[in-house]
Amino acid sequence: MIYIDPPYNSDKDFVYKDDFKDNLANYQRLTGQKDEEGNPLFTNSDSTGRYHSNWLNMMYPRLKLARNLLKDDGVIFIHISKQEISNVTKICDEIFGEANSLGVAIWDKGNPKGDSNSLAYQHEHIVIYAKNYERFKESNSFVRKKKNAKKMLSKAKVLFKNVGKKIARSEVKQCIKKLELDINPNSYSLEYTLDDANNDYQAWLKSQNFSNGEKAYCFIDEDGEVFQPVSMSWPNKKKAPAEYFIPLIHPLTKKECPVPEKGWRNPPETMKKLLELNLIIFGEDELKQPRRKYLLRENMDENIPSILYFGGSDDNLFSEWSFDFENPKPYLFAKDLIDSASYDGDIVLDFFSGSATTAHALMQLNAEDGGNRKFILVQIPEPTPENSEARKAGYATIAEIGKERIRRAAKKIKEEHPDTQADLGFKVLKLDTSNIKKWNPNLDTLEADLLDAVDNILPDRTPEDLLYEVLIKYGLPLTLPIEKIQVGNHQAFNVAFGSLIACFDENITLETVQAICDLSTPENPVLRVVFRDTSFTDDITKTNAIQRLKQAGIEDVMSI
């Protein structure tokens, strides 16, 4: 899953300055933004030719790459506001294909914003595309959990426990208390019936701010199950086959109940099974058409609606952590979206990381459902404003805020879920050039260039830098566990318990090589070993080292 909240292209949030081939002054003349003398012809920056093109030229290649990074059954979620919603859908139609659109959701934030000259917007958009709709449909149910289902089941359970008991009604207790009467309310106890439980449950449901899909489960049956009655009519335009018209017999009157005009939804075998499971609801007599009973505990998920209501924010959390960050996505809202389109073991990428909301949301979700999703976040080192609280607190860049947010979120999650097995750690990697010097000889300085190339590693690079480049070259995950170990008189790295042993010291001896050989056992063999080209003092030592490693069963030996 790719989940991004790119800059919305408002006047102050666009920081990605990509290059253009055309001269800016010439472009502004051609597009009528300035006259021949360079004077601006418009005062409204929103109407300038580059207002949208700058943003689109930044987004297009990133979305093109995003599609290539997705698995065939992957999906991308893009937060966007009114400024660029039409343009985002156009470029996504081109990159992902119109047939792969899963729709545009409206996020109702419940907080209208605007000025006197335009609508007060209280919503944003979330554009959703699959890489391949058919593959996505095969692998994903694309539903969300009913937020209040557990609360509803719990309430029904409490009410159902009273069925058959003699209890004092709440209205009697309230009346006695209000009139300050010296009366024991239990003196007015009545038997609590299933109808009473249903009445109390339905009154409670009406008082709750639940979705209509949840409120449809408004009944409690004789087994204490919460359910909603649903029509069993054949759903298609044409009539069902003849066997779908067999009448159901009313259990009390023993007479045939009316059959839907186009037949039943299910074949006779399924109808028989539903009867056995008590999942068909009959009326008081045979005159009412039976309906199917849908149990809430078997339907804890629901289709994702086009309008998503979430009015919360992370302001209090950021205030508690003394973070200064404008308009972060609420992590609980992000958690629900990630939950709707990801599964245990999935990787979620956010290449506009910002305050690292995606990481916080994903760790919270893993802690709640026991999942093992992983995140990859990307953030340019955008400087924090000079006089901001973040800069005063020591955060020079947005990326620094994100890293600290992940640390604090992990600590908070661990406190709230002490038994969680979720991985709450992370690694930080910075993009750089290769550690290997480029071979770019000059005929005038060829001898000096050749001597300089003897040591092919750039002078400012650390052993850790070399190690991560080796992991990339081998195609190994950068999140593998890494342990620093001592081999002879030298330091080495043990990656993933022997998957790779790397030693980048100079003057490696055969004693050190033997120490590496000794690490390999039948139960836990060493698979690969890497040195520097200049690790050995001469070719004889290097050749002997390779042979000794092969004798120990280590065939994959590389030098950089």
Both 293 and 326 in one domain: the answer is no
Position 25 confidence tier, pLDDT thresholds 50, 70, 90 = low
| Confidence (pLDDT) at 113 | 76
Note whether residue 421 is domain-resident: no
User: Residues 101-117: what's their mean pLDDT?
Assistant: 85
Taking all residues of the chain, what is their mean pLDDT, rounded to a whole number? 89
Residue scoring higher pLDDT (542 or 31): 542
Q: With respect to residue 111, please indicate whether it lies within any of the assigned structural domains.
A: no
Instruction: State how far the Cα of 370 lies from the Cα of 132, in Å rounded to an integer.
Output: 28
Is 28 a residue whose pLDDT tops 80? no
Q: Which of 92-106, 308-322, 420-434 has the lowest mean pLDDT?
A: 308-322
Query: Sign (positive/negative) of CA torsion 291, 296, 298, 303?
Result: positive
Question: Which of 301, 331, 352 lies at the terminal end of a domain, its last residue?
Answer: 301
Q: What's the order of all strands across the beta sheet hosting 280-281?
A: 219-220, 226-230, 291-295, 280-281
Same domain, 153 and 285: yes
* Domain presence at residue 281: yes
- For residues 456 and 359, membership in a common domain is answered with no
pLDDT at residue 328, as a whole number: 84
Q: Kindly write down the DSSP assignment for every residue of 12-35, as one continuous string.
A: T--------SS-HHHHHHHTTSB-
Residue 40 pLDDT > 70: no
- What pLDDT band is residue 211 in, cutting at 50, 70 and 90? confident
Lowest mean pLDDT among 24-28, 111-115, 186-190, 191-195: 24-28
Radius of gyration of the chain (CA): 33
Q: What is the pLDDT of residues 443-464, one digit of tens each?
A: 776 666 666 666 788 888 999 9
Tally of domains in the chain: 4
- Residue 486 backbone phi and psi in degrees, to 5: -105, 125
What confidence score (pLDDT) does residue 19 get?
53
Asked if 281 and 334 sit in the same domain, the reply is no
Please tell me the least confidently modeled range out of 19-28, 135-144, 247-256, 280-289: 19-28
What pLDDT score does 546 carry?
95
Residue ending a domain, among 374, 400, 416, is 416
161 plus 275 within the same structural domain? yes
> Within this chain, do residues 319 and 401 fall inside the same structural domain, yes or no?
yes
Interval 507-553: pLDDT, tens = 999 999 999 999 999 999 999 999 998 899 899 999 999 999 999 99
Which CATH number fits the domain that encloses residue 529?
Answer: 3.40.1350
309: its two tokens: 């209501």
Name the band, by pLDDT with cuts 50, 70 and 90, for residue 43.
very low
Identify residue 120 by its one-letter amino acid code.
A
pLDDT at 44: 44
Residue 263 has pLDDT above 80, yes or no: yes
Together in a domain, 325 and 459: no
Q: Are residues 156 and 261 in the same domain?
A: yes
* Torsion angle of C-alpha atoms 87, 90, 92, 96, degrees rounded to 10: -170
- Identify the CA nearest to 467 among candidates 429, 420, 439: 429
Residue 46: band (very low, low, confident or very high) from pLDDT cuts 50, 70, 90: low
* Same domain as 156, residue 218: yes
Give percent of the chain above pLDDT 90: 66
More reliable by pLDDT, 534 or 169: 534
Q: Say whether both 521 and 484 belong to one domain.
A: yes
Query: Do the domain assignments include residue 230?
Result: yes
**Which tens digit of pLDDT belongs to each residue from 352-404?**
999 999 999 999 999 999 999 999 999 998 898 888 888 888 899 999 999 99
Looking at residue 120, its pLDDT comes to 86
Sign of CA dihedral 344, 349, 350, 356: positive
pLDDT at residue number 449? 60
CB under 8 Å to 65, separation ≥6 — which residues? none
The band of 168, judged by pLDDT with boundaries at 50, 70 and 90, is: confident
Q: What is the pLDDT of residue 95?
A: 97
Proportion of the chain above pLDDT 70, given as a percent: 89
Q: What is the pLDDT of residue 311?
A: 86
Structure confidence at residue 2 as a pLDDT band (50, 70, 90) = very high
Pair 123, 107: CB distance under 8 Å: yes
The confidence band for 20, taking pLDDT boundaries of 50, 70 and 90, is very low
404: domain range? 314-416
> Greater confidence, 479 or 170?
479
**What was the pLDDT predicted at 12?**
55
pLDDT in tens, 171-206: 787 888 888 888 887 777 889 999 999 999 999 999
488 and 534 together in one domain: yes
Choose the weakest-confidence range: 82-86, 146-150, 249-253, 325-329.
325-329
**pTM, 2 dp:** 0.79
Q: Is residue 495 part of a domain?
A: yes
Query: Please, how many CA atoms are within 13 Å of residue 160, restricted to the half-sphere of its CB?
Result: 14
Do 289 and 318 sit in the same domain of this protein? no
| Range with top average pLDDT, 113-122, 298-307, 359-368, 387-396 | 359-368
For range 3-30, the mean pLDDT:
64
Tell me, yes or no, whether 433 lies in a domain: no
> Which of 82-86, 159-163, 410-414 has the lowest average pLDDT?
82-86
Strand 226-230 with 219-220, pairing: antiparallel
Six-digit token pair at 357? 């909301």
Domain presence at residue 307: no
Residue 511, in any domain of the structure:
yes
